[in-house]
Amino acid sequence: MGWVETLARFEKDVKRTDTGFLAIAAKVENDEKKTSEPPQKIKEILKEFQDILPDDLPNELPPYRMDQHEIMEEPCSKPTFRAPYPLSPMELTDMKKPIEYLLAKGLIRPSTSPYGAPVLFTTKPDGSLRMCINNRALNKQTINKKYPIPQIDDLLDQLRAATVFSKLDPWSGYWQIRMADNSINKTAFRTRYGSYEYLVMSFGLTNAPAKFQAEISHILRPLLDECVVVYLDDILV
């Protein structure tokens, strides 16, 4: 059977072959200027629970929860150190803002650690720059911790009977897990403006995804596969 162009031809082909495929195309209006205000009830809920639904992280370290994130290295490992990469004037300008933000939040502190990773930048979808720490040398000698990351197909199977969803995304979830005291110095990174080390779990550490998955799965374990599915820092209710 060929392409179906009209409903009449579709009905004719089905009668002739007992088989048919129908595709319907519709024009979707995409007006970015159209925005809808959240219902008043939602606004009231957000206001009532603003202490747990903030617009930004508080200016303090997160509380101690389960285990802190510890970086365990292979025996006989030595501190990893790399000199800072050459950066463009634009990158140097963009480096100051995240460093000042992390310092103000108490998430990093000045460091004299023998460890030190260089900083590089990646481009975001909107064209702006994102500061990243190149922990490749440290990760190479870090002992991998095994924790199962859920399979997407398995999670989708859990949604088969659901019709209404609520999505939760923890604000900078990795930064809500404290570093173990004996591992803080290993997170050090070098910049033109000094060396700093993380007091919270930073992005780019080899065991960070497994650690976060373990933490969030432990917290939500009674609800998993009942009314909640979790993939790293994405929570679907």
Range of 82's domain?
58-236
Distance, in Å, from the CA atom of 94 to the CA atom of 105, rounded to the nearest integer, reads 18
Total of domains in the chain: 1
| Domain annotation covers residue 51 | no
Tell me if 203 sits within 8 A of 132, measured CB to CB.
yes
| Domain annotation covers residue 20 | no
Region label for 70, one of left (φ > 0), alpha (ψ between -120 and 50) or beta (otherwise):
beta
The pTM assigned to this predicted structure is 0.74
What are the Cα distances from residue 131, in Å, to 11, 15, 191? 58, 62, 11
Tell me if 230 sits within 8 A of 168, measured CB to CB.
no
pLDDT at 5: 53
pLDDT at 16: 64
| Domain annotation covers residue 44 | no
Per-residue b or e along 217-233, where b marks 16 or more CB atoms closer than 10 Å to that residue's CB: eeebeeeeeeebbbebb
pLDDT at 133: 93
Per-residue pLDDT of the chain (237 residues; tens, 9 = 90+): 445 455 566 566 656 666 555 555 555 565 555 556 667 777 777 777 777 777 777 777 887 776 889 999 999 999 999 988 988 888 888 889 999 999 999 999 999 999 999 999 888 888 888 889 999 999 999 999 888 888 888 777 777 777 777 777 777 788 888 999 999 999 999 998 999 999 999 989 999 989 888 888 888 888 887 778 887 877 878
| Domain annotation covers residue 83 | yes
CATH at 232 = 3.10.10.10
| Domain annotation covers residue 3 | no
pLDDT at 94: 87
The continuous run of DSSP H or E covering 141 comes out as none
CA 128 to chain centre: 18
Query: What letter would DSSP give residue 190?
Result: E
| Domain annotation covers residue 212 | yes
Could you tell me what percentage of the chain is helix, strand and coil, using 3-state DSSP and rounding each to the nearest 5?
30, 15, 50
pLDDT at 1: 46
| Domain annotation covers residue 159 | yes
pLDDT at 30: 59
